[in-house]
Structure 1
Amino acid sequence: MDPLDYRTDADSRLGGADITISVTADQARALGADLQAIAEWTHTALTALALLRTGIDPDGTETTPESLHPAITAIDTQLLPRLQGIKDAAVRRHASLGGSLGQLSHAMDSTKSTAQSRRKAILDGPGRPSTWEKWATDGPTQ
């Protein structure tokens, strides 16, 4: 079964498109409250992308600086740090599992030397692992 489902017709909840992302029960337990939060921030990012492309807010009015505030906050302070932490944790795990630089450079769509320097920064850089890398592997701190 495909974990992603798209409905793009008048039957969707708002008449445009519905996106369903399914996870297993074990995955849902591992994600906890992060599941809902990341879904909400992703929704904000998608609606911001539409707003940027149309210049129209969801309520039908023209975009204002104030209407961009939620998107900037969700993306800059919520999504991007977490995505960086997930990526860093994945690179660290890839290395610990014996992943090659060739595999990593392919995954990063980069040269081997670029992949090597990125991996070195993640594995050996100051302040590593970062707070968000720890969050990615351990979940939120209590």
Structure 2
Amino acid sequence: MSLSYRTGQDAREGGLDITISLTPEEATAVGSVEPLADWFDTALWALAVLRSGRVDRTDGHALTAADLYTVINDLDHRLLPRLEGIRDAAVRRHAELGGSYGELALAMDTSRSTAQYRRDALTAKDPSFWETWATGQQD
């Protein structure tokens, strides 16, 4: 995977374009990325809107509660469960591959005891729906 940016006049809208490139094998493994890309876009758009207080993609009106419906739905209902599933699958696989609690703590930027608690709680139960989705066992 590679990541590139275009800014200013080189960007489509004159601001910033972000390109994420996957190898053919990665693209096949991931499958359809359109929904995920849309939700990532919503996250970045929401960050800009929350910081500026203005909805610039349409008419530049002041932010309203109604503008946040899609943000909340895309992030809370759609993106966050999938990200948690990816994280949980990565933590479980890290343990299966012999990763230490210390390494996990470093990756999580937390204490060793917290990393141990989180991993032990995760591995003590069966994978969640979204964890199995992340590993390709669920559509």
Residue 124 (structure 1) aligned with residue 124 (structure 2):
yes
Partners of 1:48 and 1:85 in 2: CA distance? 22
- How far off its partner does 1:139 sit? 5.0
Query: Which residue of the partner structure matches residue 75 of structure 2?
Result: 75
Q: CA 1:32–1:139 in 2, change beyond 3 Å: closer, same or farther? A: farther
Indicate if the aligned counterparts of 2:129 and 2:138 stay in contact, CA closer than 8 A: no
Indicate if the aligned counterparts of 1:9 and 1:16 stay in contact, CA closer than 8 A: yes
> Aligned with 2:85: secondary structure?
helix
Note the 1:1-142 alignment, pairs <5 A: 3-33=2-32, 35-57=33-55, 58-59=57-58, 60-125=60-125, 128-138=126-136, 140-141=138-139
Q: In angstroms, what is the RMSD of aligned CA positions?
A: 1.2
Q: CA 1:3–1:106 in 2, change beyond 3 Å: closer, same or farther? A: same
User: Aligned residues: percent identity?
Assistant: 52
- How far off its partner does 1:71 sit? 0.7
- How far off its partner does 1:11 sit? 2.1
Indicate if the aligned counterparts of 1:4 and 1:22 stay in contact, CA closer than 8 A: yes
TM-score between the two structures when normalised by the length of structure 2: 0.94
> Aligned with 1:64: secondary structure?
coil
> Aligned with 2:66: secondary structure?
helix
More moved, 131-140 vs 15-24 = 131-140
Write the letter of the residue equivalent to 1:37: P
5+ long unaligned stretches in structure 1: none
- How far off its partner does 1:140 sit? 3.8
Would you identify which runs of 4 or more consecutive aligned residues in structure 1 move more than 2 Å? none
> Aligned with 1:10: secondary structure?
helix
Partners of 2:105 and 2:7 in 1: CA distance? 35
The number of equivalent residue pairs is: 137
Partners of 1:139 and 1:24 in 2: CA distance? 21
